[in-house]
Amino acid sequence: MAFRSRREKLRSVLSGAACVHPGSVYDAISIRIAEDLGFPLGMFGGSVASLAVLGDPDVTLITLTELAEQMRRMSRASALPVLVDADHGYGNALNVRRTVQELEAAGAAGLTIEDTLLPAAFGEAKTQLISLEEGVGKMKAALAGRNDASLVIMGRTGAASITSIEDAIRRAKSYESAGVDALFFTGIKSRAELEAVRAATRLPIVVGGAPEDLNALDYLAGQRVRIALQGHAPIAAATQAVYETLKALSEGTSPKGLRGLASSELTARIMREADVKARSADVLGLKK
Ligand SMILES: O=C([O-])CC(=O)C(=O)O
Ligand SMILES: [Mg+2]
């Protein structure tokens, strides 16, 4: 199986004793930079996918085909294991199965399926959850949809900030019983909440969007948290850089006068130019 070693690397993070930060990745360039800097895995957030692919906010307008295609491009560019935010699985439990099949074929190392009601329901300003029963059905469909058993399936709940921490625990325990590989929580607000989650469950924990006092990696590791997200600063940095550059050019700065550009060495490294040159020499009959 072409992608098994990436999935096994993600599994070794989950079964290890440490808590790590993933690099937020969204395209071929960002994943190669994260790989070169030594990140143990990449996180491909749904919000970032919407922004990178569509230029849109995170309101479930991106299609599964577009998400999987972007994942496929990253898989081609780098062997870094990537955890994909597969949102609600793009429909009901049958769609979840299809989502797993497509992301597996695209080379994802793991993916999350969440119990948020998406897209937003008519007349509801506040985020809602699907029922626990529907959530369990989605987890079962995701697990049964795998072709490669090493693909990591995470059950994700945002209940902590939508209903209550008790509801988040109830849901997580049900997803655990359904057989998911790890539990992903958003909206955990305090150490007390995280400790309650840890005490009530057995699987490796992933936390997203946690407050500052939940940022110490040693503490998190002690709570069985294996992956702690840090938001998506890289795409914000890239956006700012493109903005500043285009602004300067629009104001008449000459290309040579621009600041903050990638050096030709960095660009060559990201393009894996040395490998391409070596291959060209071999197959195009060029000098090395
Ligand atoms: O996965 C994450 O990093 C958090 C999230 O849901 C998103 O960014 O869409
Ligand atoms: Mg998301």
Each residue's pLDDT tens digit, 193-219: 999 999 999 999 999 988 888 989 999
Instruction: Tell which one of 25, 43, 47, 90 to mutate to probe ligand 1, the residue whose CB is within 8 A of the most ligand atoms.
Output: 47
Q: Which atom of ligand 1 is nearest to the CA of 47?
A: 9
CATH of the domain at 140: 3.20.20.60
Number of domains in the chain: 2
Nearest-CA residue for ligand 1 atom 5 is: 45
Helices (H), the chain: 4-15, 28-36, 46-49, 64-77, 93-105, 132-144, 159-162, 165-178, 191-200, 217-222, 233-250, 264-270, 273-283
Residue 253 in any domain: the answer is no
Residue 248 in any domain: the answer is no
Q: Which atom of ligand 1 is nearest to the CA of 231?
A: 3
**Measured between alpha carbons, how far is 223 from 226 in angstroms, rounded to an integer?**
9
**Residue 24 amino acid letter:** S
Are residue 33 and residue 166 in the same domain, yes or no? yes
**Measured between alpha carbons, how far is 249 from 256 in angstroms, rounded to an integer?**
10
ipTM of this predicted structure: 0.96
Residue count of the chain: 288
For residue 121 the two structure tokens come to 């329901």
Nearest-CA residue for ligand 1 atom 2 is: 45
Domain region containing 275:
262-288
Q: Is the pTM of this model over 0.90?
A: yes
Residue 247 in any domain: the answer is no
**Nearest alpha-carbon partner for 102 in 45, 136, 52, 63:** 63
Are residue 229 and residue 286 in the same domain, yes or no? no
pLDDT value of residue 288:
63
Residue that the structure tokens 């209903």 belong to: 163
What tens digit of pLDDT does each residue of 9-33 get? 999 999 999 999 999 999 999 999 9
pLDDT bucket at 166, cuts 50 / 70 / 90: very high
What tens digit of pLDDT does each residue of 91-134 get? 999 999 999 999 999 999 999 999 999 999 999 999 999 999 99
Residue 249 in any domain: the answer is no
